[in-house]
Amino acid sequence: MKKFTLLIIVILLTGAMFVLGFNYSNNIEPNIYYQVYLDDKLLGTIKSKEKLEEYIDERGKYYKKKYNVDTVYAPNGLEIKKILTYHDEVSSIRDIYKKIEKEKSFTVKGYQFTIKKDKKSTVVNVINKNDFKKAIETTIKTFVGSENYEKYLNDIQEEITSTGRIIENIYVDQKISIKETNISVDEKIYTNEDELAKYILFGNNPVSTSYTVQAGDTIEKVAFNNEISVEEFMISNPEFTDKSNLLFPGQEVTIGTIEPQVDVVVEEHVVVDKESDYQTEIRYDETKLVGDDEIIQSGEKGIERVTQKEQRINGFISYVDPKNKEVLKPAVNEILVKGEKYIPTVGSTTNWLWPTNSGWTISSDYGYRIFGGTREAHLALDISGTGYGSPIYAVTNGVISESTYRYPDGNYVCINHNNGYYTCYAHMQRRAVSIGETVERGQVIGYVGQSGLATGPHVHFEVWVGGRPWYGGRRINPWSKY
Span 102-131, pLDDT tens digits: 999 999 999 999 999 888 899 999 999 999
> What whole-number distance in Å separates Cα of residue 260 and Cα of residue 447?
34
CA 442, 445, 450, 455 torsion: positive or negative?
negative
* CA angle 155–156–161, rounded 5-degree value: 115
> What whole-number distance in Å separates Cα of residue 23 and Cα of residue 304?
106
pLDDT > 90 fraction of the chain, expressed in percent and rounded: 82
Domain ranges of the chain: 29-104, 108-162+173-204, 207-258, 264-481
Please name the CATH architecture into which domain 207-258 falls: Roll (3.10)
- For the cut 60, the answer to whether the pLDDT of residue 22 exceeds it is no
Q: Do residues 128 and 135 make contact, with C-beta atoms less than 8 angstroms apart?
A: no
- For the cut 50, the answer to whether the pLDDT of residue 92 exceeds it is yes
Span 383-441, pLDDT tens digits: 999 999 999 999 999 999 999 999 999 999 999 999 999 999 999 999 999 999 999 99
pLDDT value for 24: 42
* CA angle 337–341–344, rounded 5-degree value: 100
pLDDT value for 339: 84
User: Residue 289 — very low, low, confident or very high, per pLDDT cuts 50/70/90?
Assistant: low
Question: Do β-strands 444-448 and 391-393 pair in parallel, antiparallel, or remain unpaired?
Answer: antiparallel
Span 186-230, pLDDT tens digits: 999 999 999 999 999 998 878 889 999 999 999 999 999 999 999
pLDDT value for 340: 77
> What whole-number distance in Å separates Cα of residue 132 and Cα of residue 112?
10
pTM: 0.80
- For the cut 80, the answer to whether the pLDDT of residue 16 exceeds it is no
User: Residue 98 — very low, low, confident or very high, per pLDDT cuts 50/70/90?
Assistant: very high
pLDDT value for 117: 85
pLDDT value for 118: 81
> What whole-number distance in Å separates Cα of residue 93 and Cα of residue 421?
82
| Average of per-residue pLDDT values in the chain | 91
> What whole-number distance in Å separates Cα of residue 267 and Cα of residue 130?
26
Q: Worst-scoring range by mean pLDDT, 267-281, 369-383, 429-443? A: 369-383
Span 429-480, pLDDT tens digits: 999 999 999 999 999 999 999 999 999 999 999 999 999 999 999 999 999 9
> What whole-number distance in Å separates Cα of residue 480 and Cα of residue 350?
10
User: Residue 28 — very low, low, confident or very high, per pLDDT cuts 50/70/90?
Assistant: confident
Q: Worst-scoring range by mean pLDDT, 1-10, 235-244, 462-471? A: 1-10
> What whole-number distance in Å separates Cα of residue 320 and Cα of residue 332?
27
Q: Do residues 276 and 359 make contact, with C-beta atoms less than 8 angstroms apart?
A: yes
pLDDT value for 21: 43
CATH class given for the domain over 264-481: mainly beta
- For the cut 70, the answer to whether the pLDDT of residue 305 exceeds it is yes
- For the cut 70, the answer to whether the pLDDT of residue 336 exceeds it is yes
Question: Do β-strands 334-339 and 280-285 pair in parallel, antiparallel, or remain unpaired?
Answer: parallel
- By CB atoms closer than 10 A (0-12, 13-18, 19+), residue 430 is exposed
